[in-house]
Amino acid sequence: MEAEQNSNIKGTIAFDSHGNVIESTGVGSTRIEDICELSRVALDAEGFAQVQGDSLLVHLYKRDDVTLAVYT
Protein backbone atom coordinates (compact mmCIF):
# COMPACT_ATOMS: atom_id res chain seq x y z
CA MET A 1 0.00 0.00 0.00
CA GLU A 2 1.48 3.28 -1.10
CA ALA A 3 -0.01 5.17 1.82
CA GLU A 4 1.85 2.93 4.27
CA GLN A 5 5.10 4.27 2.87
CA ASN A 6 4.28 7.05 5.27
CA SER A 7 4.02 4.90 8.38
CA ASN A 8 2.38 7.76 10.25
CA ILE A 9 -0.90 7.03 8.49
CA LYS A 10 -3.23 5.05 10.71
CA GLY A 11 -6.24 5.20 8.44
CA THR A 12 -8.18 7.13 5.83
CA ILE A 13 -11.72 8.07 4.91
CA ALA A 14 -12.73 9.64 1.63
CA PHE A 15 -16.27 11.01 1.51
CA ASP A 16 -18.39 13.04 -0.87
CA SER A 17 -20.36 16.25 -0.46
CA HIS A 18 -23.38 14.25 0.74
CA GLY A 19 -21.33 12.76 3.57
CA ASN A 20 -21.34 9.30 1.98
CA VAL A 21 -18.22 7.15 2.23
CA ILE A 22 -16.19 6.54 -0.91
CA GLU A 23 -13.45 4.51 0.77
CA SER A 24 -12.19 3.85 4.27
CA THR A 25 -9.11 2.09 5.61
CA GLY A 26 -7.45 1.38 8.95
CA VAL A 27 -8.88 3.34 11.86
CA GLY A 28 -10.94 5.28 9.32
CA SER A 29 -13.16 2.21 8.88
CA THR A 30 -14.10 2.34 12.56
CA ARG A 31 -14.65 6.11 12.65
CA ILE A 32 -17.21 6.64 9.92
CA GLU A 33 -19.29 8.64 12.36
CA ASP A 34 -16.53 11.29 12.29
CA ILE A 35 -17.73 12.32 8.83
CA CYS A 36 -20.56 14.40 10.24
CA GLU A 37 -18.15 16.52 12.25
CA LEU A 38 -15.34 16.51 9.70
CA SER A 39 -17.65 17.77 6.96
CA ARG A 40 -18.25 20.90 9.04
CA VAL A 41 -14.59 21.74 9.62
CA ALA A 42 -13.59 25.02 8.00
CA LEU A 43 -10.96 24.50 5.32
CA ASP A 44 -8.34 27.03 4.30
CA ALA A 45 -8.23 28.64 0.85
CA GLU A 46 -6.37 25.63 -0.57
CA GLY A 47 -8.80 23.14 0.90
CA PHE A 48 -6.72 21.94 3.86
CA ALA A 49 -7.40 21.62 7.59
CA GLN A 50 -6.19 19.70 10.61
CA VAL A 51 -8.26 18.50 13.54
CA GLN A 52 -6.82 17.13 16.75
CA GLY A 53 -8.80 14.24 18.20
CA ASP A 54 -8.19 12.18 21.38
CA SER A 55 -5.07 10.38 20.26
CA LEU A 56 -5.24 11.04 16.58
CA LEU A 57 -4.55 13.97 14.31
CA VAL A 58 -6.86 14.22 11.29
CA HIS A 59 -5.57 15.86 8.14
CA LEU A 60 -8.24 17.04 5.73
CA TYR A 61 -8.03 17.95 2.08
CA LYS A 62 -10.97 18.64 -0.18
CA ARG A 63 -11.00 18.96 -3.95
CA ASP A 64 -13.66 18.25 -6.57
CA ASP A 65 -16.36 17.59 -3.93
CA VAL A 66 -14.31 14.76 -2.39
CA THR A 67 -12.82 15.17 1.08
CA LEU A 68 -9.93 12.96 2.15
CA ALA A 69 -9.37 12.53 5.88
CA VAL A 70 -6.06 10.99 6.88
CA TYR A 71 -5.57 9.87 10.48
CA THR A 72 -2.07 10.00 11.97
Partner 1 sequence: TTPDSTKISKEQLKRLHSRILDEISSQSQVDKPGPLTVPF
Partner 2 sequence: MVMLHSKNVKVFLENTLKPYDLHSVDFKTSSLQSSILLTATNGGIMSFATSNSDVPKNSINEINSVNNLKMMSLLVKDKWSEDENNTVEQPTNSCYPVEIESFKTKIYTYEMEDLHACVAQIPNSDLLLLFIAESTFPYGLLVIKIERAIRELSDLFGYRLG
Interface positions with partner 1 (CB under 8 A): 2-3, 6, 8-9, 12, 14, 22-23, 46, 48, 50, 52, 57, 59, 61, 63-64, 66, 68, 70, 72
Three-state secondary structure call for residue 70 = strand
40 is a site residue for partner 2 (CB under 8 A): no
Task: CB nearer to partner 2: give 18 or 45.
Answer: 18
Contacts 24+ apart (CB under 8 A), 24-33: 26/71, 27/56, 27/71, 28/69, 28/71, 31/71
- The binder of 37, among partner 1, partner 2, none, by C-beta within 5 to 8 A per type, is none
